[in-house]
Amino acid sequence: MDYSRLKWHVEDKIGVLTLNSPETLNALDSIILNELEAWVDGPAQEETLRAIVITGEGKAFVAGADIKEMLSLDAQGAKKFGMLGSTIFRKIEKLSIPVLAAVNGFALGGGCELALCCDIRLASKRAKFGQPEVGLGITPGFSGTLRLPRVVGVAKAKELIYTAKIVGADEALSLGLVNHVVEPEELLEKTMQMARQIAGNSGSAVSKSKAAIDRGLDMDIDNAILVENDLFALCFAQDDQKEGMQAFVNKKKPAFK
């Protein structure tokens, strides 16, 4: 599929998605959301992929949803718009492979919510994060009220959302909102390095680890332990386990399929 607002390429089993509407600071309007949905339902599902990196073109990762488009919405239209974004971000979150956000600039509103649905977040020193929606008379609409508390804690999430505060990369790091902060010119390469490190391990084991973490977070610990044990056991029915352990015993680098 040809995209007007996205760029997509694959290298070394790592997919790189760039939101490519710098003139609007990559604002999430219906066009870019529909392209994101087509992407997550199509190329993002490619079985050969081992990780995905999402970043933005220009000064912004995503500066937010398109305010001009939202201005004309009534309650019914707003619900439809919110469900579209929330559904797409949930699909990204549920991809079986790790998704890394390379946050190059503004990640506000829907941009912060997009970063939050990724597994790992690396930020440029120039990055800015926030959920400023209450200053516009609305709530976060793409699941920010759900994911932000899970990442930074309930009290801090409430502070950020209630005050509409925008934080820099270093404060985001101290909050646990991002994993690493790097120089702007190093951001994409540092993110790709991490993606390559992930891709060098067993794809099956990484996917099962992601499933164990994500499913376990929504369960009580006793049931989560059962899920982890089931996924652990399934590893022993696959070639990667045999290859990895045999290579370790023989002091060789494993050649995972």
Measure the CA–CA gap between 52 and 12, rounded to whole angstroms: 11
Q: What is the 3-state secondary structure (H, E, C) of 8-68?
A: EEEECCEEEEEECCHHHCCCECHHHHHHHHHHHHCHHHCCCCCEEEEEECCCEEECCECHH
Q: What is the pLDDT of residue 257?
A: 82
Catalytic annotation, pick one of 11, 35, 93, 113: 113
Measure the CA–CA gap between 229 and 212, rounded to whole angstroms: 9
Q: Identify whether 113 is a catalytic site residue.
A: yes
Q: Which CATH superfamily is domain 6-199 in?
A: 2-enoyl-CoA Hydratase; Chain A, domain 1 (3.90.226.10)
- Please tell us whether the domain made up of 203-249 is placed in CATH 3.30.1220.10: no
Catalytic annotation, pick one of 47, 133, 183, 189: 133
CA distances from 145 to 26, 219, 222 (A): 22, 19, 27
Q: What is the pLDDT of residue 97?
A: 98
Beta-sheet strands, E only, within the chain = 6-11, 14-19, 51-56, 60-62, 99-103, 106-108, 120-124, 128-130, 166-168, 180-182
> What is the mean pLDDT, run by run of 10 residues, along the chain of 257 residues?
92 97 96 97 97 98 94 96 97 98 98 98 98 97 98 98 98 98 98 98 97 96 97 95 95 91
Residue with tokens 């710098």: 22
In the chain, where the domains are located: 6-199, 203-249
Q: Identify whether 159 is a catalytic site residue.
A: no
Q: What is the pLDDT of residue 2?
A: 84
